[in-house]
Amino acid sequence: MSETVKYRPDIDGLRAVAVLPVVFFHADIKGFTGGFVGVDIFFVISGYLITTVIYTEMVADRFSILSFYERRIRRLLPALLVVIFASAIAASFLLLPDELIAFGKSVISTILFVSNALFWTESGYFDSAAGMKPLLHTWSLAVEEQFYIVYPLALLLCFKFSPRIIPVAVAGAALGSFLLALFLQPRWPDANFYLPFPRGWELLIGALLAMDVFPEAREERLRTGLGALGLTLIAWSVFAYDDDTSFPGASAMLPTAGAALIIYAGRAGPSLITRALGRQEIVFIGLISYSLYLWHWPVLVFARLFALRALTPFESGMAIVVSFLLAMLSWRYVERPFRLRTTLPYRPTLFGIAAGAMASFVLLGAILIAYDGLPQRVPENARKILSAAADKEIAEERYQCAVLPLLPSREFGPCPIGATETVSPTVVVWGDSSANALQPMFDAILEDKGLSGFLASTPGCPPLLGIDRIGYSIECEKTAEKLFGFLQSRNVRKVIVVGAWGNVFYKDKTVFHGKVGNDNATRLANVRAAMRFTFERFEEAGMEIAFMLPVPGGKKTVPQTLARSIILGRPTDIEYSREEYQRRIDELLHLLDEQPGGIGAVVKVEDFFCEKKCAVSGDGHSFYYDNYHPSLYLNRVLRPAIEGQLHDFLITPTHGQDSGMTRNRDPLHR
């Protein structure tokens, strides 16, 4: 390896190839469904460039840890501080108190380069607000910096011991990291996405390319072919991957290998690909890629918050233009002066000011948290609407007695509801998280009728026997089967089924008795078969089913959107029309109509919510604590409509329902 690092314009061009798909993906530009792989390309580039510098300096016996971290500070911190500061100003106007508290946490974690850990802990089933986090994209910076805390020291230690073992050690670490990623992906995909250990192999692939362990591609035709193959792999992953792709893990190999091939092919000399990537306009995008990556996500987040809806294609395009303009200014007036040492040229001064700036932003985040997100910024009527958002925490507390515990050490135990102190349980309310959110209403209904029973809710699992969600953290089929045995042992005779149903119809990959459902037709077939199987099993066990149709919900998170609408003084349209809601439940009604044994009751909510549109609020209160789950207020006002429809079902003995079950099929037909 040469003792000097040669500039390669094609790598700046590759940076452009990495950043543009990320920007277009986040802006919802049609076609770029796998644009998130740009981050993986950045990881490979970073591993290659950093190792090239470190390895070259080690060979020349001039590597310094202090110099290394000085370069990292100059490279990353100035532009990052400007973006955080600008985001904090926008956040003070557009974020609601709870969101501003979350923003304060993200400011602290971002400035300390641990935001990946924060966002990992916030990810999963209940993280419905990812699009409201202006600093969410900084997780990748945290991964890199955590890697570079350990990596240079490990490299230096290996070099002192024996330079020859470095490639072997790096290759072994890369293999171990990759195997860890393969292990984690089907089990803990969020951890696999955010944490540095299963991501490290992507940086280490780049590191290996910097160590002269591969023979050079001396023929230009070979270099062109390898580079073209690399671009093809990247393009395939950008345009073929989507939100349903299991990622990272094995699927990250395509963009990673693509980036590695381009870097490798360009090491030995020019080619058609290096010349294309080295074009001035492409290189310029690569030069501003860091600032563009930093700016684009907050711009998009705040634009959507201000619009109170998804952006139109034109608005998304304008947001991208604004991001480019900010990136160019940031690169010219923030990045370059620090990197070229025209600003703060002395290391002690740089370290001192960097530490002071970081401490100031930690203090800013702490103030936002300590003062509860500054609620005095929000008008009283907006705070009234927002109060429903707190119901989410109350609902989540009830998952301590969900059907199957989320932690294996916990015992099985649905929640008792109704007149539990006076009568034996005979009723179960079975469903997903929407059933859990309606627990107060069903508790009051059973109490009023002198009945008792159980709430058996499992978040994300359809209330059906025999069906499972592929890749989901909870084993839905085993959960439902365990519940069925529990109900038989407790002599339960009435089952009220409550579910959202949208995901199991149109999104989730499901399996029913070995048959995989991965498109709308096969998913529907699985639900149809599972529903028939469920009704037959319950009928054989002497249990009767009432089926509550799903609530309409809102197009966006209801309390926050309505409150922001009040603050901005502009209307918002997040209500579904009656026709839209009817289309959503028609398939469900058809499936219910097909059940051979009949249904004890079909509970409808359409008339309560919908005239021309389906209301999301009433009397200044939100009906939902997010975009779908009922608030405590809705539990109170919806109760009379539901109780009236369940009255006969609940008070009539099961063995006397033969004629009633047939009669109650009529309401399914419109």
Average pLDDT, the chain: 90
pLDDT band at 667 (very low <50, low <70, confident <90, very high): very low
- The answer on 435 and 368 residing in a single domain is no
> Between the CA atoms of 70, 84, 203 and 292, what dihedral angle is there, to the nearest 10 degrees?
-110
**Burial class of residue 282, CB neighbours in 10 A (0-12, 13-18, 19+):** buried
CB 214 within 8 A of CB 149: no
Asked whether residue 563 is domain-assigned, the answer is no
CA 166 centroid distance within chain: 37
The sign of the CA dihedral 39, 43, 49, 54 is: positive
Residue among 430, 492, 435 nearest 465 (CA): 430
Is the Cβ–Cβ distance between 302 and 134 less than 8 Å? yes
Q: Kindly state whether residue 393 falls inside one of the protein's structural domains.
A: no
Say which residue, 406 or 364, is predicted with more confidence.
364
CA distance 56 to 214: 17
- Give mean pLDDT, residues 555-580: 93
381-392 average pLDDT score: 92
208, 174 contact by CB (below 8 A): yes
What integer is the mean pLDDT of 639-654?
91
pLDDT at 517: 72
pLDDT one-digit tens code per residue, 15-32: 999 999 999 999 999 999
**pLDDT band, residue 1 (cuts 50/70/90):** low
Using alpha carbons, list the distances in angstroms from residue 318 to 89, 296, 300, 594: 21, 11, 10, 50
Confidence of residue 283 (pLDDT cuts 50, 70, 90): very high
* The pLDDT of residue 595: 80
Q: Does a cis peptide bond (omega within 30 degrees of 0) precede residue 248?
A: yes
Band of pLDDT at residue 544, cut at 50, 70 and 90:
very high
Residue 211 has pLDDT above 70, yes or no: yes
Residues 409, 369 share a domain: no
Residues 419 and 318 grouped into a single domain: no
> In this predicted structure, what is the pLDDT of residue 206?
96
Q: Is residue 363 part of a domain?
A: yes
Q: What is the DSSP letter of 551?
A: P
Q: Predicted confidence band at 663 (pLDDT cuts at 50, 70, 90)?
A: very low
Q: What is the pLDDT of residue 476?
A: 87
Q: Are residues 164 and 34 in the same domain?
A: yes
Q: Is residue 389 part of a domain?
A: no
| Most trustworthy range by pLDDT among 56-60, 347-351, 499-503, 562-566 | 562-566
Q: What is the pLDDT of residue 599?
A: 83
Place of tokens 């997780």: 139
Do 459 and 593 lie in one domain? The reply is yes
583 belongs to a structural domain:
yes
- pLDDT for the residue 131: 81
- In this structure, the answer to whether residues 83 and 186 fall within a common structural domain is yes
Show which of 316, 343, 377 is a domain's final residue. 377
pLDDT band at 665 (very low <50, low <70, confident <90, very high): very low
pLDDT at 403: 57
pLDDT at 598: 67
Confidence bin at 648 (pLDDT 50/70/90): very high
The reply to whether 327 and 251 lie within a common domain is yes
SS3 38: helix
Tell me: do 368 and 420 sit in the same domain: no
What is the predicted pLDDT for the residue at 251? 96
Is residue 568 one of the residues assigned to a domain? Answer: no
User: 451 versus 127: which is more confidently predicted?
Assistant: 451
Q: Which structural domain, as residue segments, surrounds residue 180?
A: 9-377
**Dihedral sign computed on CA atoms, order 99, 433, 246, 504:** negative
**What mean pLDDT comes out for the span 582-598?**
85
How far apart CA 426 and CA 326 sit, in angstroms, is 63
Give the global pTM.
Answer: 0.85
Residue 662: pLDDT over 50: no
User: How large is the average pLDDT for residues 526-530?
Assistant: 89
pLDDT digits (tens, 9 = 90+) for 142-169: 999 999 999 999 999 998 888 889 999 9
CATH number of the domain residue 642 falls in = 3.40.50
Same domain, 332 and 443: no
Q: Mean pLDDT, to the nearest integer, of 393-421?
A: 67
**Contact, 100 vs 364, CB < 8 A?**
no
H or E, element range at 481: helix 476-489
Please check whether residues 409 and 373 belong to one and the same domain.
Answer: no
pLDDT beyond 80 at 410: no
User: What's the whole-number mean pLDDT along residues 268-290?
Assistant: 96
Q: Is the pLDDT of residue 401 over 70?
A: no
Total domains, the chain: 2
Residue 502 has pLDDT above 50, yes or no: yes
Q: Is the pLDDT of residue 575 over 70?
A: yes
Higher pLDDT, 541 or 360: 360
- Each residue of 356-380: pLDDT tens digit? 999 999 999 999 999 999 999 999 9
pLDDT for 243 equals 87
Asked whether the predicted pLDDT for residue 657 surpasses 60, the reply is no
Backbone angles phi, psi at 4, to 5 degrees: -125, 150
What pLDDT is stored for residue 402 in this prediction?
62
pLDDT over 60 at 637, yes or no: yes
Q: What percent of the chain has pLDDT over 90?
A: 67
pLDDT digits (tens, 9 = 90+) for 461-485: 899 999 888 877 788 888 898 889 8
If you average pLDDT over residues 284-309, what whole number do you get? Answer: 97
pLDDT value of residue 407:
39
Nearest of 41, 72, 13, 74 to residue 288 by alpha carbon: 13
Q: What is the pLDDT of residue 71?
A: 92
Q: Which of these ranges, 126-140, 444-458, 570-584, has the smallest mean pLDDT? A: 126-140
pLDDT-based confidence at residue 624 (cuts at 50, 70, 90): very high
Range of weakest confidence among 93-97, 339-343, 630-634: 339-343
Residue range 191-218: mean pLDDT, rounded: 93
Is the model's pLDDT at 607 over the cut of 90? yes
What's the length of the chain? 670
The secondary structure element, H or E, covering residue 633 is helix 632-651
- Cβ–Cβ under 8 Å, residues 591 and 537: no
Let me know whether 425 and 319 are in one domain: no
Residue 125 reports pLDDT greater than 80: no
| 284, part of any domain | yes
Give me 570's structure tokens.
């502009």
pLDDT at 2 over 60: no
Tell me which of 325, 346, 377 is where a domain ends. 377
| pLDDT for the residue 4 | 60
- 415 pLDDT band, cuts 50/70/90, is confident
Per-residue 3-state assignment (H helix, E strand, C coil) for 54-99 = HHHHHHCCCCCHHHHHHHHHHHHHHHHHHHHHHHHHHHHHHCCHHH
Return d(Cα 384, Cα 563) in angstroms, integer: 9
Query: 218: pLDDT confidence band, cut at 50, 70 and 90?
Result: confident
Residues 444, 589, single domain; the answer is yes
Within-domain flag for 289: yes
Q: What pLDDT, on the 0 to 100 scale, is given for residue 450?
A: 93
**Token pair listed for 244:** 């349903």
- Give the pLDDT of residue 38: 98
